[in-house]
Chains A and B, each alone.
Chain A
Amino acid sequence: MGGNWGKVLKVNLSERTVEEEVIPEEHYRDFLGGSGLAAKWFFDHRGWEGEPLSPDNPLMIMNGPLSGTNYPGASRLEVCARSPLTGIWGEASMGGHFSPQLKRTGYDGIIVLGASEKPVYLYVTDEGVEIRDASHLWGKDTYETEDLLKREVGDQRAQVICIGPAGENLVKFANVMNDRGSTAGRCGMGAVMGYKRLKAVVARGSKKFPVADEAGFKAAREKMSEALKFSMIAEGLHAFGSNVHMEYGMAIGDVPVKNWREAYWAEGPEKLGGTTVAETILTRTHSCFACPVACKRIVEIKEGPYRMEEGPGSEYEAAAALGTLQRMDSMEANHKANELCNRYGMDVISCGGVIAYATEAFEAGLLKESDTGGLKLGWNQPDTLLELIRRIAYREGIGDEMAEGVRAMSEKFGGEEFAIHVKGLECPMHDPRALWGMALTYATSIRGACHCADANLYVDLGLLNHNELGVKRSWPYRAKGKAAQTVASQKKGVIANSAVICQYAWNASGGSLADMAEALRSLTGFPYTVEELARVGDRIWYIKRAIGNLCGATREDDRLPRRILEPHPEGVTSSLHLAVFPQFMSMVPMGKIRAERFKETTAGLLKKYLFPNMDKILTSLNKLPMFSMRGKKLERRDPEEIRRRTVAFDEMLEEYYRLRDIDDKGRPSRSRLEELGLKDVADALHG
């Protein structure tokens, strides 16, 4: 077997023991590596029986066969565990430079069990691993920690992953950081490390791992490099970062504004988008290991209240979650907020989501100044945003509640209808009302609302297809074919997170399964074809789904908040400024109405009678002079606009369950699992 070492390091911090565990070769063949292999290990060791913040929850830091190979985009590793935020399978993918160093120490990953009494860090080299005291680092932010550790081990080329104060304080969405700007962001993996009092892992290695077919792999690598050289997607990412998406995204209604309430904010991209950053505060680009795309932004804000030293700037998710979602128009404050999240070690998406929820809850009177310690929350308040980020990281006052995430907060304070999450994971910055595929993606992604677990975003944007799998792409605003598209997208997504490769690089090169099969075949020696790789993708998805079920997730959890399935209550994306629907909705203070039954009934009536007849209503209204909808935007698409922003979610989800063979409890069927060689998983689920 090439590409992998065939073993992982197992560290028990309660017992202070270290051992090597050999992983059977067929596990690599059937689950690739990365989060696939982690899921297999987690299942085999009944990881779901441990509570997320307990010594029994295994923290798995895993490479894949591509890690450390110089294959373009192979810079990533996966951090996995049972998530303290959602309670189900958690995984987070991280770029940067740590992955190759870990690979070169001679291990495919590290599995951390138990919990230390005092803060420690792991130092992994060619010689093995030491558990070292980290008391002097506890309390330091991630930037300082990384600098200090490199000095301490006496090697600037050593790479560090670490947590900040947020992880130490068990903030449920604390992340793990490397190289200041690379993050295993989601699901609270930083809190798992914090619970174990594992401040950091330092890796420095020099070993060379075998490659099954050197010439074949070299050819595969060169093919990928060539594809990226001529990719316009790669060019856009290089020029403007992932925030290249902001302008186009806003134009199609994909960028959430004001806690997903507002349809369109014309000034948003000018203030916060990647083009503006490139023309103002950008100092240089930066790349992850072995990546020619170099999408990372380095910025500097030299003066003013949001001054920051040269360092990583906002990616798209941060520009939106800590920008448009807060209806905040200060670019400087946005990048400062992003820097704080990096330093404290917190996921920008969840952080932005819980702050936007809290702001709306304050507006609706569900949160009061007595709850917020006198802080008046409101939209477009940069200083309040920065203060809330700090309070969350240190669990001060209202920050202690917010650190639990939007699901827990809304269960306590109310306003569940505007707590935008799936399975407890706050939704990323892509609106299902613009790209219906994201509705299914959010509902059925293994870790909760996630935009990286599959390729649906790129497919719905028209940039990728699934022709290799014989699946037709479905239109962004059509339910037909969306379920089959999502299943195909998920196969690719799990392969990316198990092989492990950056989805930007892979997608920018065309996202070819044939190319990936060729690369993995020559690297590992396993006889992968497109069909076999697709089967591996399915196998990994199903084992992760089953783990979610074993952790307690049911079919009821595959739901989206109604707000992101129906037309926006505020603002318009067309000339609907005089249309009945938005006026009606803005007149009804739904947030202030506590009578759940009234809200349910009203929403039901709107859905049943108003939305399906909106085109007739608007067409009739349009004939009346006072309601004439001549505006800047096209008139003819208005009824179509309403139709488009009403996602046919139930229909798509039912079809998805049928294709995936999911039962009424949300579990994959026994027969489907056994077909994929997962009989043990079927037995665990079905008895």
Chain B
Amino acid sequence: MPLVKLYATLRKAAGEKEYRSRARNVGQVLEELRERYGDRVDRYLRGCIVLVNGQNVGYLKGKRTKLEEEDEVSVFPPLAGG
């Protein structure tokens, strides 16, 4: 099952660092996050950045990007620092 990892303020809002997902694609991960954590994560998912194995899904198939068993899905709220 793909591993979903949460970062920064999204992690703080969810109260959890990571979990194993049943999702088959990125869109399903985002729906799953809303179901799992409710309204408190909603605003962090708007404009969030999703990487699958370090690859921004914007360069793949966006929400339709398929996930495989051993994939790692990293979800970041919009953030910048540096």
Q: How far is the CB of A313 from chain B (nearest CB, A)?
A: 13
Chain-B contact segment, one of A247-255, A410-418, A441-449: A247-255
Q: Is the CB of A248 within 8 A of B53?
A: no
Q: Which of B47, B70, B74 contacts A232 (CB 8 A)?
A: B47
Q: Is the CB of B8 within 8 A of A275?
A: yes
Please, what's the 1-or-0 string for A464-507, where 1 marks a CB less than 8 Å from any CB in chain B?
A: 00000000000000000000000000000000000000001001
Across-interface contacts of A632 in B (CB, < 8 A): 53, 70, 72
Q: Which of A264, A429, A461 contacts B54 (CB 8 A)?
A: A264
Chain-B contact segment, one of A95-103, A236-244, A379-387, A617-625: A236-244
Q: Which of A246, A463, A574, A640 contacts B80 (CB 8 A)?
A: A463
Q: Is the CB of B76 within 8 A of A247?
A: yes
In this assembly, does A218 line the interface, its C-beta being within 8 Å of a C-beta of chain B? no
Q: Is the CB of B55 within 8 A of A245?
A: no
Q: Is the CB of A507 within 8 A of B80?
A: yes
CB neighbors of A among B59-82 (8 A): 59, 70-72, 74, 76-82
Q: When A236-B8, A275-B8 are in contact, do A429 and B79 touch as well, CB less than 8 Å?
A: no
Q: Is the CB of B79 within 8 A of A233?
A: yes
Please, what's the 1-or-0 string for A425-465, where 1 marks a CB less than 8 Å from any CB in chain B?
A: 00001100000000000000000000100000110011100
Q: Is the CB of B78 within 8 A of A233?
A: yes
Q: How far is the CB of A487 from chain B (nearest CB, A)?
A: 21
Across-interface contacts of B51 in A (CB, < 8 A): 251-252
Across-interface contacts of A573 in B (CB, < 8 A): 54
In this assembly, does A633 line the interface, its C-beta being within 8 Å of a C-beta of chain B? yes
Closest residue on chain A to residue B12 by CB atoms = A239
Across-interface contacts of A243 in B (CB, < 8 A): 81
Across-interface contacts of B44 in A (CB, < 8 A): 232
Q: Which of A232, A244, A574 contacts B81 (CB 8 A)?
A: A244
Q: Is the CB of B81 within 8 A of A274?
A: yes
Q: When A632-B70, A632-B72, A633-B53 are in contact, do A236 and B9 touch as well, CB less than 8 Å?
A: yes
In this assembly, does B30 line the interface, its C-beta being within 8 Å of a C-beta of chain A? no
Across-interface contacts of A242 in B (CB, < 8 A): 81-82
Please, what's the 1-or-0 string for B37-52, where 1 marks a CB less than 8 Å from any CB in chain A?
A: 0000001100101011
In this assembly, does A515 line the interface, its C-beta being within 8 Å of a C-beta of chain B? no
The binding surface of chain A is classed by DSSP as: helix
CB neighbors of A among B17-41 (8 A): none
Task: Give CA–CA (A139, B76) in the complex, Å.
Answer: 45
In this assembly, does A594 line the interface, its C-beta being within 8 Å of a C-beta of chain B? no
Q: Which of A233, A241, A430 has the most CB of B within 10 A?
A: A233
CB neighbors of B among A271-289 (8 A): 274-275
Q: Is the CB of B82 within 8 A of A430?
A: yes
With an 8 Å Cβ cutoff, the count of chain B residues facing the other chain is 27
Closest residue on chain A to residue B46 by CB atoms = A232
Q: Is the CB of B8 within 8 A of A461?
A: no
With an 8 Å Cβ cutoff, the count of chain A residues facing the other chain is 44
Closest residue on chain B to residue A242 by CB atoms = B81
Q: Is the CB of B77 within 8 A of A232?
A: yes
Task: Give CA–CA (A266, B6) in the complex, Å.
Answer: 15
Q: Is the CB of B9 within 8 A of A633?
A: no
Across-interface contacts of B8 in A (CB, < 8 A): 236, 239-240, 244, 247-248, 274-275
In this assembly, does A316 line the interface, its C-beta being within 8 Å of a C-beta of chain B? yes
Q: How far is the CB of B33 from chain A (nearest CB, A)?
A: 15
In this assembly, does A375 line the interface, its C-beta being within 8 Å of a C-beta of chain B? no
Q: Which of A295, A462, A634 contacts B55 (CB 8 A)?
A: A634
Across-interface contacts of A233 in B (CB, < 8 A): 78-80
Across-interface contacts of A232 in B (CB, < 8 A): 9, 43-44, 47, 77-79
Task: Give CA–CA (A344, B9) in the complex, Å.
Answer: 34
CB neighbors of B among A282-321 (8 A): 295, 316-317
Q: Which of B11, B53, B59, B70 has the most CB of A within 10 A?
A: B53
Closest residue on chain A to residue B52 by CB atoms = A634
Please, what's the 1-or-0 string for A313-343, where 1 marks a CB less than 8 Å from any CB in chain B?
A: 0001100000000000000000000000000
Task: Give CA–CA (A508, B77) in the complex, Å.
Answer: 13
Q: How far is the CB of A246 from chain B (nearest CB, A)?
A: 8
Q: How far is the CB of A8 from chain B (nearest CB, A)?
A: 33
Closest residue on chain B to residue A244 by CB atoms = B81
Q: Is the CB of B78 within 8 A of A248?
A: no
Across-interface contacts of A633 in B (CB, < 8 A): 53-55
Q: Is the CB of A637 within 8 A of B78?
A: no
Q: Is the CB of A451 within 8 A of B82?
A: yes
**Footprint of A on B, CB under 8 Å?**
7-9, 11-12, 43-44, 47, 49, 51-56, 59, 70-72, 74, 76-82
Known: A233-B79, A247-B74. 14 other contacts (CB 8 A): A232-B44, A233-B80, A235-B77, A236-B80, A244-B8, A245-B81, A248-B49, A251-B74, A252-B51, A252-B54, A274-B81, A275-B8, A430-B82, A451-B82
Across the A-B interface, the 7 shortest Cβ-Cβ residue pairs: A245-B81, A242-B81, A236-B79, A245-B82, A633-B53, A244-B81, A232-B78
Chosen A-B contacts, 17 in total, with CB atoms closer than 8 Å, are A232-B47, A232-B77, A232-B79, A233-B80, A236-B77, A237-B81, A241-B81, A242-B81, A243-B81, A249-B82, A251-B51, A274-B81, A275-B8, A317-B82, A463-B78, A633-B54, A633-B55
**Footprint of B on A, CB under 8 Å?**
232-233, 235-237, 239-249, 251-254, 264, 274-275, 295, 316-317, 429-430, 451, 457-458, 461-463, 504, 507-508, 573-574, 632-634, 637, 640
